[in-house]
């Protein structure tokens, strides 16, 4: 694994939104058997020792949770790379958190920073967002674009951070059309994998970072890459007009949940929290656009989300998708499970007892790296779809039953 990918992999893990839109489900109306809420007797569901009543999300606040909430608000105002150029429809960065906070500072490819050094040379970080896109499905088979947008406590601090980080970026100077104030460098030599061009721009209290990595173009043409950077800056500046920064003294009081949606997910515990027990809990609510940044195929995910009228996704140890109405959940489940249905390493398995509408799968016997294919179920209740994974089938069934009870609680 290359150094640039390894650095990204150190970020907090979270649930990925891997979707392929199932047109047949949309046109045929989906599986009506999913909607059998009235026939489910929740008293007969075996949920083991998992919680079955909604939790108090406010009690989970830490020094980082409010900053994560503001980071997600920035993510909602950050373009997908395919919004900049519709050829960049892939993202191999699976299971990577996109939030940037003072407790989880950014990593920039090609810049080596010691632990804690970022906050020393770029003080005042409030929150930010990372996104990525590439031309080809396979890594290193085409151009890739990496973007970060980071809010600082003042415009002066954003400018200081921009200059300090640009000063540490090696390469030859270049100019971005219509952005003479941007600090831009490129290298046509093989460094960190392949030639690249990187640009830093201070925009009010925001730092905008764009890096174009090109493993296949020979000779490397910095002007062509600079045009991509210009379009990225254009789109980011445009979308930031829709972002209303939370006043610094109000960030700590940002609501962590939306309509109790996150409270109805199963929580992480110390043994299964992504990144380990010393990391902040990444549980959060993501609006539709922010959620698309996680998907390996955001173009097809967008079609599925739009078709289902999805507005918010709650991500914790389980994932809940809120759709337009109950019939929409059938089509969304068809889209969510399509990659698994088509995956040679998975096979359909029995649903949990007394919960026949759950769609469940497990790794086929004898496959290598079975841990890469954990058992999974999807279940619908009213206008909600939940995705549940487990350590084994028994655990999966109990967790799915608990998740169903959580969805049904108070409804």
SS (H, E, C) 339-356: HHHCCCCEEEECCCCCCC
Residues in the chain, total: 411
Query: Which ranges of 122-211 would DSSP assign to H, the alpha helix?
Result: 155-167
Task: Break the chain into its structural domains and give their ranges.
Answer: 12-61+256-408, 65-240
Q: What's the pLDDT at 1?
A: 39
Query: If we measure between CA atoms, which residue out of 184, 242, 192 comes closest to residue 210?
Result: 184
What percent of the chain is helix, strand and coil (3-state, nearest 5)?
35, 20, 45
Q: What's the pLDDT at 280?
A: 67
Query: pLDDT of the chain along its 411 residues, tens only?
Result: 343 433 343 343 333 333 322 322 333 334 444 555 768 999 999 999 999 999 999 998 888 999 999 999 999 999 999 999 999 988 876 655 799 999 888 988 778 788 788 989 999 999 999 999 998 877 776 799 999 999 999 999 999 999 999 999 989 999 999 999 999 999 887 545 578 999 999 999 999 999 999 887 778 899 999 999 999 999 999 999 999 999 999 999 999 999 999 999 999 987 666 655 556 678 999 999 999 999 888 998 999 999 999 999 999 999 999 999 999 999 999 999 998 887 788 999 999 999 999 999 999 988 877 778 899 999 999 999 999 999 999 999 999 999 999 999 865
Check: CB of residue 3 under 8 Å from CB of residue 271: no
| C-alpha to C-alpha distances, 228 to 146, 152, 203, 305, 377, nearest whole angstrom | 11, 25, 18, 27, 40
Tokens of 158: 């954003």
Instruction: Give the sheet arrangement for strand 359-363, strand by strand.
Output: 284-287, 312-315, 319-322, 384-389, 376-381, 359-363, 346-349
Residues 6+ apart with CB under 8 A from 69: 251, 254, 255, 256, 284
Task: Evaluate if pTM is beyond 0.75.
Answer: yes
- Spatial separation of the C-alpha atoms in residues 2 and 7, rounded to whole Å: 9
Fold of 65-240: Protein Transport Mog1p; Chain A (3.40.1000)
Residue that the structure tokens 């290193």 belong to:
140
Residues 6+ apart with CB under 8 A from 62: 280, 281
Query: Which ranges of 91-221 would DSSP assign to H, the alpha helix?
Result: 117-121, 155-167
The separation between CA 78 and the C-alpha centre of its own chain, rounded to angstroms, equals 12
45: left (phi over 0), alpha (psi -120 to 50) or beta: beta
């Amino acid at each position: 694994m290359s150094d640039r990918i390894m650095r990204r992999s150190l970020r907090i893990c979270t649930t990925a939104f891997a979707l392929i839109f199932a047109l047949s489900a949309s046109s045929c109306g989906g599986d009506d058997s999913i909607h059998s809420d009235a026939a489910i007797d929740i008293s007969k569901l075996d949920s083991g020792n998992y919680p079955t009543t909604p939790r108090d999300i406010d009690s989970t606040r830490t020094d980082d949770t409010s900053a994560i909430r503001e980071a997600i608000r920035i993510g909602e105002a950050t373009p997908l790379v395919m919004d900049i150029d519709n050829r960049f429809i892939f993202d191999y960065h699976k299971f990577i958190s996109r939030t940037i906070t003072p407790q989880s500072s950014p990593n920039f490819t090609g810049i080596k920073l010691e632990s804690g050094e970022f906050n020393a040379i770029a003080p005042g970080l409030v929150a930010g967002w990372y996104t990525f896109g590439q031309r080809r499905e396979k890594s290193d088979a085409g151009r890739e674009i990496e973007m970060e947008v980071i809010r600082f406590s003042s415009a002066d601090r954003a400018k200081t951070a921009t200059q300090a980080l640009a000063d540490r970026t090696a390469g030859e100077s270049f100019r971005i059309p219509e952005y003479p104030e941007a600090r831009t460098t490129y290298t046509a030599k093989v460094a960190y994998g392949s030639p690249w061009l990187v640009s830093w721009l201070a925009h009010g209290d925001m730092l905008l970072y764009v890096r174009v990595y090109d493993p296949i173009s020979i000779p490397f043409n910095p002007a062509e890459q600079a045009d991509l950077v210009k379009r990225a800056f254009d789109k980011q500046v445009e979308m930031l007009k829709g972002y209303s920064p939370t006043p610094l003294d109000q960030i700590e009081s940002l609501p962590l949940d939306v309509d109790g949606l996150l409270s109805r997910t199963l929580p992480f515990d110390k043994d299964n929290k992504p990144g380990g027990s010393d990391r902040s809990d990444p549980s959060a609510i993501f609006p539709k656009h922010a959620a698309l940044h996680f998907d390996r195929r955001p173009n097809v995910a967008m079609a599925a989300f739009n078709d289902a009228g999805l507005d918010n996704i709650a991500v914790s140890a389980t994932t809940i998708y809120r759709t337009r109405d109950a019939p929409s959940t059938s089509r969304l489940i068809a889209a969510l499970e399509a990659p698994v249905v088509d995956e040679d390493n998975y096979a359909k398995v029995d649903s949990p007892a007394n919960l026949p509408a759950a769609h469940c799968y497990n790794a086929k016997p004898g496959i290598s790296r079975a841990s890469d294919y954990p058992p999974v179920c999807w279940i619908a209740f009213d206008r909600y779809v939940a995705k549940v994974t487990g350590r084994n089938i028994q655990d999966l069934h109990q967790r799915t039953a608990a998740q169903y009870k959580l969805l049904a609680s108070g409804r």
